[in-house]
């Protein structure tokens, strides 16, 4: 309810921009959007980017085994099925999916990329306490939530082949990872928050940096000659619902900072990530299924595209 | 009696359906007739230019193959079945004059917090640049309508890739890069922009499958050296900066080895 009220207020333009940009000193101007060699549209020059984008040294992050090394056994078959489900959820877990996304749309590069919710860092941490459910949950139960919220679908049962396969794939990716130890690259980036985020700035940033792939309407881009999305929808009926992690501004900003635009992680400032995610959060998307009955009485359902 | 009634009802429904269907077909065929005709003309004009050349402009078929399939050995790219928007943009960027060395384009500073002005009207964005020893001089001689026609013609052509054999290990490494990139270094997979089969997507993301390996390696070299600078949001430059020489060869071999069929429009 607070979200609804806040979004109404924000949309009616009553939110004042609080504070000033702390990234810039008084009188300092942001460098050009263009410099001769590196066009990093967030106003970072190449020199600045080199200082701000963390250099990655070999061995800094856990490296999961290669796909070619999946064993030829029943276990290996389960791992392969899990990988298939993970990168093509639309096809392999069709029964349980209610939108146009795949697992690997957010868990980038087949669930291997550090700071994009890598499976090898998540799997060894379970069972763990989750604030969302205020309960200790197993990995399988956590995956069920992915289907319910992020995929806006139905949770497969704990003994279903889908859950088993995704668990097997995660288990295989975590080969050699320490149990119950926080690995570098787990989850998403950690962010500072110098001021309150503003969707006004977020909209500008979205149009400049995100719209060329995710579409100016945020509905993603579909393939012309096959089913599914080339670039996933960020809002609308085919996207994750309000109960998903990505629907919280914080999670979205942490993900965006580390991974977006694709291949240019860490080029947005922390504040820009907050801003653009606030804009995305204000858009229309399916309701949280836990509260859906309430909202569905008073609001029309979100249309697909 | 009942049956008769049912039959007449059925007939009426059928006739109504037919009427609606035929009306729909008529309106559909009427719509877009003009643009369709214009496209036909552009394709015909483009075809003439591609096959015969004009004055100082040599015929495109001399290097890009009789059906736009490119030349494997020389690394001349295929053009058949590419997105017309992409071809247009590339030709414009190839024909653009390079700024004199050492000139830095001053642009308006962006600071959203100070004033709610619309900066997109004021910011100076550099036009993308693409330099090529052979193609730049040719592209300079093309008019805007030439570029449009040539792009329309080549995008309408069908294409059938001829996979080039390569070493198994090379293909495996190329595939690993194409499907998974290098996660621990933040290098995204090729397929995440160039589409799952490397068939390309839209005007920003050209196909990789069906391109000669030498062409792909050359282009990555150009991204790295700054000879090519015309990508959307600097995405490809960020990727190219992280590719080693081995990566280039592996991934180029992998995509030259892919099969691909593009239907002509």
Question: Which positions ≥6 away from A151 have C-beta within 8 Å?
Answer: A89, A93, A96, A97, A98, A99, A101, A240
Distance between B242 CA and the closest CA of chain A, angstroms = 10
Examine residue B98 and state whether it is found in any structural domain, yes or no: yes
Among B101, B108, B184, most A C-beta atoms within 10 A, so best to mutate, is B184
d(C-alpha B151, C-alpha A51), whole Å: 42
Does A252 have pLDDT greater than 50? yes
Q: Which domain holds residue B63?
A: 35-257
Chain-centroid distance of CA A120 in Å reads 17
- Give the C-alpha separation, A30 to B109, whole Å: 5
Q: Is the pLDDT of residue B157 over 90?
A: yes
Q: Which of A36, A221, A263 sits opposite B187 (nearest CB)?
A: A263
For residue A36, give the chain B residue with the closest CA.
Answer: B104
Name chain B contacts of A66, Cβ cutoff 8 Å.
Answer: 176
Q: Is the pLDDT of residue A174 over 80?
A: yes
The whole-angstrom separation of Cα B14 and Cα A61 is: 67
Question: Which range (A9-13, A68-72, A205-209) has the least confidence?
Answer: A9-13
Q: Would an 8 Å CB–CB cutoff place A63 in contact with chain B?
A: yes
Q: What is the CB neighbour count within 10 angstroms for residue B168?
A: 8
Q: Side-chain half-sphere of A250: how many Cα atoms within 13 Å?
A: 6
**Measured distance CA(A234)–CA(A284) in Å, rounded:** 10
A285: left (phi over 0), alpha (psi -120 to 50) or beta: beta
Write out pLDDT tens, residues B183-230.
Answer: 988 899 999 999 999 999 999 999 999 999 999 999 999 888 878 888
Q: Are B201 and A221 an interchain contact pair (Cβ–Cβ within 8 Å)?
A: yes
pLDDT at B117 over 70: no
Which residues numbered 1-30 in B keep a CB inside 8 Å of some CB on A? none
Angle between helices B213-225 and B245-256 in degrees, nearest 10: 140
Strand A128-130 to strand A135-137: parallel, antiparallel, or no bridges (unpaired)?
Answer: antiparallel
- What element of type H or E holds A17? none
- Asked if B181 lies within 8 A of A29 by C-beta distance, the reply is no
Kindly state whether A43 is in contact with chain B, defined as any CB-CB distance less than 8 angstroms: yes
CB neighbourhood size of B176 (10 A): 19
For residues A223 and A231, what is the distance between their CA atoms, to the nearest angstrom?
Answer: 9
The minimal CB distance from A33 to the residues B107, B232, B238 is found for: B107
The reply to whether B23 falls in a domain is no
For residue B20, what pLDDT is reported? Answer: 55
Kindly state whether residue B114 falls inside one of the protein's structural domains. yes
- CA proximity to A221, closest of A210, A209, A207, A206: A210
Partner B contacted by A164 (CB < 8 A): no
Among residues B174, B161, B181, the alpha carbon closest in space to that of B81 is found at B161
Residue B48 lies in a domain: yes
Q: Which residues pair with A73 in a beta bridge?
A: none
All residues of chain A having their beta carbon less than 8 Å from the beta carbon of residue B86 are none
Rounded CA gap, B189 and B172, in Å?
Answer: 14
> Alpha-carbon distance A53 to A258, whole Å?
10
Taking CB atoms and an 8 Å cutoff, what residues of chain A touch B186?
A: 56, 113-114, 263, 265
Inside any domain, residue B234: yes
Strand (E) or helix (H) holding A135: strand A135-137
What's the pLDDT tens digit per position in A180-198?
A: 999 999 999 999 888 899 9
CATH number at B162 reads: 1.10.760.10
The Cβ of residue B209 has, within 10 Å, a number of other Cβ atoms equal to 24
Contact B126 A34 (CB under 8 A): yes
Within-domain flag for B183? yes
pLDDT tens, residue by residue, A37-57: 333 344 445 555 555 666 677
Predicted TM-score (pTM) above 0.85? no
Better-scored residue on pLDDT, A83 or B234: A83
DSSP state of A210: I
Helices B168-180, B245-256: axis angle to 10 degrees equals 100
The answer to whether residue A22 neighbours chain B at the CB level (below 8 Å) is: no
Residue B5 pLDDT grade (very low, low, confident, very high; cuts 50, 70, 90): low
Task: Kindly tell me if the per-residue pLDDT of A22 is higher than 60.
Answer: no
Burial of A114: CB neighbours in 10 Å, binned 0-12, 13-18, 19+: buried
Pairing of strands B159-160, B261-262: antiparallel
pLDDT bin (cut points 50, 70, 90) of residue A265 is confident
Inter-chain residue contact A109 with B189, CB threshold 8 Å = yes
pLDDT band at A176 (very low <50, low <70, confident <90, very high): very high
pLDDT at A14: 38
Across the interface, of B120, B186, B226, the residue whose CB is closest to A56 is B186
Identify the H or E element spanning A137.
strand A135-137
Give B100's contacts in chain A (Cβ within 8 Å). Answer: none
- The count of other CB atoms within 10 Å of the CB of residue B102 is 6
Mean pLDDT of B167-194: 93
Whether B43 is in a domain gets the answer yes
- pLDDT at B101 (0 to 100): 59
In a domain, B20, yes or no: no
8 Å CB contact of B233 and A110: no
The minimum CA-CA distance between A107 and chain B, rounded to whole Å, is: 11
Contact B109 A30 (CB under 8 A): yes
Q: What whole-number distance in Å separates Cα of residue A158 and Cα of residue A195?
A: 42
How many structural domains compose chain B? 1
């Amino acid at each position: 309810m607070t979200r609804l009220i806040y979004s109404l207020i924000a949309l009616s333009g009553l939110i004042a921009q609080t504070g000033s940009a702390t990234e810039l000193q008084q009188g300092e101007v942001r460098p050009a959007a263009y410099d001769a060699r590196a066009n990093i549209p967030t106003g970072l020059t190449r020199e600045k980017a080199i200082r701000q984008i963390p250099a990655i040294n070999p061995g800094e992050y856990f490296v999961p085994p290669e796909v070619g090394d999946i064993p030829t056994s029943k276990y290996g078959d389960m791992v392969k099925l899990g990988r298939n489900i993970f990168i093509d959820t639309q096809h392999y877990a069709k029964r349980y999916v209610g939108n146009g996304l795949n697992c690997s749309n957010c868990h980038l590069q087949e669930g291997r990329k550090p700071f994009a919710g890598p499976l090898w860092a998540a799997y060894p941490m379970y069972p763990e306490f989750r604030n969302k459910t205020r309960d200790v949950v197993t990995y399988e139960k956590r995956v069920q939530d992915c289907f319910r919220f992020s995929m806006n679908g139905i949770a497969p049962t704990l003994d279903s082949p889908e859950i088993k396969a995704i668990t097997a794939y995660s288990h295989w990716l975590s080969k050699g990872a320490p149990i119950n130890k926080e690995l570098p690259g787990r989850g998403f980036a950690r962010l500072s928050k110098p001021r309150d985020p503003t969707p006004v700035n977020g909209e500008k940033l979205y149009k400049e940096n995100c719209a060329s792939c995710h579409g100016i309407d945020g509905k993603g881009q579909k393939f012309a000659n096959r089913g599914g999305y080339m670039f996933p929808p960020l809002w609308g009926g085919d996207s994750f619902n309000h109960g998903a992690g990505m629907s919280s501004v914080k999670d979205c900003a942490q993900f965006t900072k580390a991974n977006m635009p694709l291949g240019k992680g860490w080029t947005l400032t922390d504040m820009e990530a907050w801003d653009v995610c606030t804009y995305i959060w204000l858009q229309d998307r399916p309701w949280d299924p836990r509260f859906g009955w309430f909202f569905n009485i008073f609001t029309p359902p979100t249309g697909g595209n | 009696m009942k049956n008769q009634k049912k039959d007449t009802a059925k007939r009426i429904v059928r006739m109504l359906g037919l009427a609606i269907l035929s009306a729909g077909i008529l309106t559909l065929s009427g719509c877009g007739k003009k643009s369709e005709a214009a496209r036909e003309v552009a394709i015909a004009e483009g075809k003439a230019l591609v096959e015969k050349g004009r004055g100082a402009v040599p015929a495109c078929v001399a290097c890009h193959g009789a059906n736009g399939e490119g030349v494997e050995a020389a690394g001349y790219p295929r053009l058949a079945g590419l997105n017309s928007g992409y071809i247009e943009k590339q030709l414009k960027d190839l024909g653009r004059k390079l700024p004199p060395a050492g000139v830095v384009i001053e642009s308006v500073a962006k600071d959203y917090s100070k004033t709610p002005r619309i900066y997109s009207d004021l910011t100076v964005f550099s036009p993308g640049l693409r330099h090529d020893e052979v193609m730049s001089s040719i592209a300079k001689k093309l008019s805007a309508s030439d570029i449009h026609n040539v792009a329309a013609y080549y995008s309408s052509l069908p294409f059938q890739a001829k996979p080039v054999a390569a070493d198994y290990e090379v293909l495996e490494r190329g595939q690993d890069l194409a499907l998974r990139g290098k996660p621990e270094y933040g290098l995204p997979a090729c397929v995440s922009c160039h589409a799952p089969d490397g068939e390309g997507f839209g005007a920003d993301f050209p196909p990789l499958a069906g391109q000669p390996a030498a062409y792909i390696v050359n282009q990555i070299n150009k991204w790295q050296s700054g000879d090519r600078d015309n990508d959307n949001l600097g995405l490809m430059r960020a990727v190219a900066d992280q590719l080693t020489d081995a990566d280039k060869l592996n991934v180029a071999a992998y995509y030259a080895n892919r099969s691909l069929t593009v239907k002509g429009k």
